[in-house]
């Protein structure tokens, strides 16, 4: 797959430099009126300055329009349209769910089954929830729990859908036991662009790694990374990582990859979450004197956190040289790493997860 970060800036983009634009306009004016002097008090000079600002803004707008025509630099709705050319749509996100208690006013002498797909709503009638599986209240009991899915694509919600809209032959009172969580917001540009680039492999009928990766990422928008490992006898191991991990993700991936249009007959697909390897970092940054120590330290910590986030990929080692690089920002003379004592090797079916609360990054001024 093409590394879009390595692509050069398109030459078609206009230079955005007010001083250069103004200098060109002044030079052109002097060609037309050789005796004219561009004094600050000159009204014609002020007109040229205004024209230079207008041209600068126009160039910026033209650059913005131009960038929208390139897949690598398009954003928002422009990127959506590029993706549509390849039959790719931005993932809406995932619907959050919550544990609900369903209770009867009195016990019955037989099991009471509350069927899945019954609809609940909030007190204002704005939001709906759907029961994902049948809930059975055992004979002689009055309560049982079930999972309700909020019918909104969002990461979480405090909405309570505790009013039944589906008619049942008995009176049931739903009660939310927790907030709706484990959902996901709409897919961001970075993720959509990545899926668009690897989607070219969707046309493959040979079960390539990129094909499996593309369809896996489409299965659930909460998936953050995927690793495909081919085993023996046609076994394809699909490892995924999501900071929100539940059985529903595994089910969605399995269903997506076992579609006859995706999986070759000879492949046996096995889906599992990547094993998480927790680690923390203890280090000291030595800051050069006569600098704004607080700013340098803050920049180092910010670069460190961003750098570790970039290493959060299945099968990616955590190396001391990278940790050193992340912390050695402008103003830092030296980085002394106490922990880890050596590089952390991450197997292909595992992922390194930094325990941010256990990190200790201190500083000293030389």
Asked if 335 and 302 sit in the same domain, the reply is yes
pLDDT of the residue at 206 = 47
Asked if 53 and 105 sit in the same domain, the reply is no
Asked if 205 and 136 sit in the same domain, the reply is no
Q: Does residue 208 form part of some domain?
A: yes
Asked if 222 and 243 sit in the same domain, the reply is yes
Query: Which residues, including other chains, have CB under 8 Å from residue 36's CB and lie 6 or more apart?
Result: 29, 30, 42, 44
Asked if 281 and 325 sit in the same domain, the reply is yes
pLDDT of the residue at 224 = 94
Q: Does residue 329 form part of some domain?
A: yes
Asked if 266 and 325 sit in the same domain, the reply is no
Asked if 35 and 8 sit in the same domain, the reply is yes
Please, are residues 340 and 281 in contact by the beta-carbon 8 Å criterion? yes
Q: What is the pLDDT of residues 165-217, one digit of tens each?
A: 998 999 999 999 999 999 999 999 999 998 898 877 555 554 578 888 888 99
pLDDT of the residue at 210 = 81
Q: Does residue 181 form part of some domain?
A: no
Asked if 283 and 358 sit in the same domain, the reply is yes
Q: Does residue 194 form part of some domain?
A: no
Asked if 255 and 207 sit in the same domain, the reply is yes
pLDDT of the residue at 1 = 62
Q: Does residue 157 form part of some domain?
A: yes
pTM above 0.85, yes or no: no
Q: Does residue 87 form part of some domain?
A: no
**Strand duo 282-287 + 360-365: pairing:** parallel
Last residue of a domain, one of 235, 257, 273: 273
Question: How many Cβ atoms sit within 10 Å of the Cβ of residue 58?
Answer: 11
Last residue of a domain, one of 245, 273, 301: 273
Domain that holds residue 115: 97-176
Q: Does residue 185 form part of some domain?
A: no
Number of domains in the chain: 4
Q: Report the distance separating Cα 231 and Cα 235, nearest Å.
A: 5
Question: How many Cβ atoms sit within 10 Å of the Cβ of residue 61?
Answer: 11
Q: Report the distance separating Cα 284 and Cα 338, nearest Å.
A: 8
Q: Does residue 301 form part of some domain?
A: yes
Q: What is the pLDDT of residues 218-241, one digit of tens each?
A: 899 899 999 999 888 889 999 999
Asked if 281 and 240 sit in the same domain, the reply is no
Asked if 165 and 114 sit in the same domain, the reply is yes
Three-class SS state of 28: helix
Residue 72 Cα to chain centre, angstroms: 17
CATH number, domain containing residue 258: 3.30.70
Last residue of a domain, one of 224, 254, 273: 273
């Amino acid at each position: 797959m093409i590394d879009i970060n390595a692509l050069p800036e398109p030459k078609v983009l206009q230079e955005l430099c007010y001083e250069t634009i103004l200098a060109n306009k002044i030079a052109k004016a002097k060609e037309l009126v050789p005796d004219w002097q561009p004094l600050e008090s000159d009204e014609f000079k002020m007109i040229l300055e205004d024209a230079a600002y207008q041209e600068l803004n126009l160039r910026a707008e033209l650059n913005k329009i131009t960038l929208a025509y390139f897949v690598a630099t398009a954003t928002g709705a422009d990127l959506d349209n590029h993706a549509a050319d390849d039959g790719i749509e931005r993932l809406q996100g995932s619907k959050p769910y919550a544990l609900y208690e369903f209770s009867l006013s009195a016990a019955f002498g037989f099991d009471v089954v509350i069927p899945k797909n019954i609809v609940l709503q909030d007190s204002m009638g704005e939001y709906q929830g759907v029961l994902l599986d049948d809930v059975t209240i055992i004979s002689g009991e009055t309560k049982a729990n079930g999972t309700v899915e909020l019918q909104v694509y969002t990461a979480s919600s405090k909405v309570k859908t505790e009013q039944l809209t589906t008619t049942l032959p008995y009176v049931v009172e739903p009660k939310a036991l927790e907030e709706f969580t484990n959902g996901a917001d709409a897919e961001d540009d970075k993720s959509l662009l990545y899926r668009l680039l690897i989607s070219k492999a969707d046309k493959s009928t040979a079960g390539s790694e990129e094909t499996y990766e593309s369809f896996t990422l489409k299965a659930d928008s909460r998936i953050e990374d995927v690793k495909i490992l081919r085993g023996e006898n046609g076994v394809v191991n699909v490892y995924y990582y999501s900071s929100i991990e539940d059985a529903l993700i595994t089910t969605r991936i399995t269903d997506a990859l076992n579609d006859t249009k995706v999986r070759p007959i000879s492949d046996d697909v096995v889906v599992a979450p990547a094993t998480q390897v927790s680690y923390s970092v203890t280090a000291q940054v030595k800051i050069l004197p006569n600098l704004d120590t607080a700013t340098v330290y803050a920049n180092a910590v910010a670069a460190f956190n961003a750098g570790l986030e970039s290493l959060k990929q299945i099968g990616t080692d955590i190396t001391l040289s990278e940790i050193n690089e992340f912390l050695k920002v402008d103003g830092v003379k030296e980085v002394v790493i106490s922990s880890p004592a050596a590089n952390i090797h991450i197997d292909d079916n595992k992922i390194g997860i930094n325990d941010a609360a256990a990190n200790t990054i201190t500083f000293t001024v030389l």
